[in-house]
Every structure is written in C-alpha cells, then in structure tokens.
Amino acid sequence: MKILVTGGEGQLGRAFIPVLKEHEIVSIGHDRLDITDCAAVHAAIEALAPDLVINTAAYNDVDGSESNRAQAHAVNATGPRNLAMATASLRIPLMHFSTDYVFDGALRRPYDESDTPRPLSAYGADKLAGEEAVRQLNQRHYIVRTAWLFSAGGRNFLNTMRAMSDRPQVRVVCDQSSSPTYVPHLAAAAAALIDTGAYGTFHLAGQGGTSKFELVRLCFSMLKLKTEVLPVPLSEFPSPARRPAYSVLTTTREPRITLPRWQEGLSEFVRALESGI
C-alpha cells in the first residue's frame, strides 16, 4: 500500500516510518505541504495517488489556541476538512488524529467512543470541528482520539520537564488525569487498525490513567534524577485554556485495539533515552 503521511516531521508522523515499513511511505512535512491550503492539498494527493492518507499535522499549543484563533482553527479544523474533501473526491481513506480535550472531564470513569464531546477550550473545539468535517465528508475515515503523547525525540511535556531537572524542585499538576501515551505504541496500534479496515471513531491511548504529577514522579525516579517533584493543584497554574480535570480514554469499539499500559510506555521511553535512540 502507498501511504501519505501529512505533518510528517512531528513526533507521531516520524513514528509511523518504522511501523509501516512494509508499505511505501511518503512522509511530507509542513514545509512541503500546508494542510490549510485547500488547492495544494488536493494537488498533492492527486499527484501522489496514495491508497491511504494519515494526517498527523496539528496546532498543538492548547493555550496558544485561545489567542491565535485564526491559525489554530485553520490547522485543526480547516486542514482536516481540506484533507477529507480531497480524499473523498479521489476515493481514498483518511486516518485523522484527535484529542481527549474534546471532552469536558465531568465523568469519573474512562471516556469511550460513545460519550458526547463537550470541549472546554478553543483547541478542543477546533479539534472537534476537524473530526466532524472528516466524519461528514469522507465515509472511509479512521478518527483516532489519543492523549498526552510522549516520545524520546518529540516535543512533549515529559521532555519539557526533563529539561527542568537541573532545578532542585519542579511543581507539577496533580489534580488533572488522562492517559499518557507512548508514541511508538500509538503508531503500532494505528497500523493494526489500518490492517482491519474497520472505519469509524476509535480511542487509542496508553491503558490506565494518571496525573502529570505521578507521570513525572515515576519518570524522574526511573531516570534516577534527584529533582524533587512537588504536587500542585491546577488552580495554581492559571492558564488561558480550560482543561478537563479527567479525560482518561478507553475503547469499547470493535476491533478493540488496545495499547500497553502507560507505565510500560514510560519504561520504553526511559530505555530509548538511555540507549540514545
């Protein structure tokens, strides 16, 4: 199969390359294709004629999405719409990634695919608009909601915290929970989903839930870092965007593809850092 990956220089885009190695992968970064450009998207997909498009491009600055409305909406809502229109007209399936931040966090049990999204932030609303466009415009879609991505080489929360580990203490939010997801596990699960050809909306995230405080505490302990990790409530970190207090994801949708537990993802992350991968 020939597979086009958009946003190919991001942490998820790059993780697809080893996972899909039995396929022909064409991975295109932001510098070569801007998904907000409708004509360019159509022209690129028509010229490359892939059997599947995987969109990993996104504007992931949750707080920045509140002030930078035009760019955030263009990338997270209009971009997926452009991809959905082009792929539908060329009869190509589309895999698109979304977020746990489409939920408001009012539940106290893991969110499954049948739960109703109610985003609290501009980022969540834009990502939901992107999902809805894909769902409406291309019937052959895989919409994959995931959460709290981390990988050794990527731009992510754990690497930001590691960069602060020269301090004696770091303060980390303890009253917000979700599903930390190791990016190579997500790419492998998404590849397994593609193999099934089961279209629809799926939650693929590290199994189990935890807070950022517990995640950083365990990560620093595995890395034998001396920095003290202090728990602080979200209310002590005033930020422009509201975030769900609880957005752990689970799946109830066949073919029930599940990822390893988040702690296994963290162990692999630490091994990858230690071996310099």
Ligand X SMILES: NC(=O)c1ccc[n+]([C@@H]2O[C@H](COP(=O)([O-])OP(=O)(O)OC[C@H]3O[C@@H](n4cnc5c(N)ncnc54)[C@H](OP(=O)(O)O)[C@@H]3O)[C@@H](O)[C@H]2O)c1
Do residues 15 and 186 lie in contact, with contact meaning Cβ atoms separated by under 8 Å? yes
* Amino acid, res. 150: F
Tell whether residue 215 is a contact of ligand X (CB under 6 A).
no
Work out which of 5, 16, 56, 174 binds ligand X, going by CB under 6 A: 56
Listed residue (128, 121, 87) closest to 104, CA to CA: 121
In this chain, which stretch among 103-111, 151-159, 169-177, 239-247 interacts with ligand X, using CB under 6 A? 151-159
Q: Considering the complex, state which of residue 182 and residue 220 has its C-beta at the smaller distance from ligand X.
A: 182
- Binding track, positions 75-114, relative to ligand X; x by CB under 6 A: x---x-----------------x-x---------------
Burial class (CB in 10 A: 0-12, 13-18, 19+), 231: middle
Q: How many CB atoms lie within 10 A of CB 20?
A: 21
Tell whether residue 154 is a contact of ligand X (CB under 6 A).
yes
The pairing of beta strand 200-203 with beta strand 2-6: unpaired
Please identify the residue of the shown chain whose CB is closest to the bound ligand X: 10
Instruction: Report the nearest approach of ligand X to the CB of residue 6 (Å).
Output: 6
Tell whether residue 149 is a contact of ligand X (CB under 6 A).
yes
In this chain, which stretch among 6-14, 45-53, 132-140, 236-244 interacts with ligand X, using CB under 6 A? 6-14
- Residues 11-40 contacting ligand X, CB under 6 A: 11-12, 30, 33-36
Give me the phi and psi of 100, to 5 degrees please: -65, -20
Instruction: Report the nearest approach of ligand X to the CB of residue 195 (Å).
Output: 20
Tell whether residue 138 is a contact of ligand X (CB under 6 A).
no
Is the bond into 255 cis (omega within 30 degrees of 0)?
A: yes
The tokens 């991001």 sit on which residue? Answer: 10
- What is the distance of C-alpha 245 from the center of its chain? 18
CA separation for the pair 103, 121 (Å, rounded): 10
Do residues 45 and 92 lie in contact, with contact meaning Cβ atoms separated by under 8 Å? yes
Q: Considering the complex, state which of residue 60 and residue 201 has its C-beta at the smaller distance from ligand X.
A: 60
For 201, the token pair is: 């909306």
- Binding track, positions 165-184, relative to ligand X; x by CB under 6 A: --------------------
CA separation for the pair 3, 26 (Å, rounded): 6
Do residues 158 and 215 lie in contact, with contact meaning Cβ atoms separated by under 8 Å? yes
Do residues 190 and 259 lie in contact, with contact meaning Cβ atoms separated by under 8 Å? no
In this chain, which stretch among 50-58, 108-116, 210-218, 248-256 interacts with ligand X, using CB under 6 A? 50-58
CA separation for the pair 161, 104 (Å, rounded): 25
Instruction: Report the nearest approach of ligand X to the CB of residue 264 (Å).
Output: 18
Catalytic choice (111, 123, 142, 182): 123
Tell whether residue 52 is a contact of ligand X (CB under 6 A).
no
In this chain, which stretch among 146-154, 167-175, 187-195, 230-238 interacts with ligand X, using CB under 6 A? 146-154
Whether 111 is catalytic: no
Give the residue numbers marked as catalytic.
123
Interface positions with ligand X (CB under 6 A): 6-7, 9-12, 30, 33-36, 56-60, 75, 79, 97, 99, 146-149, 154-156
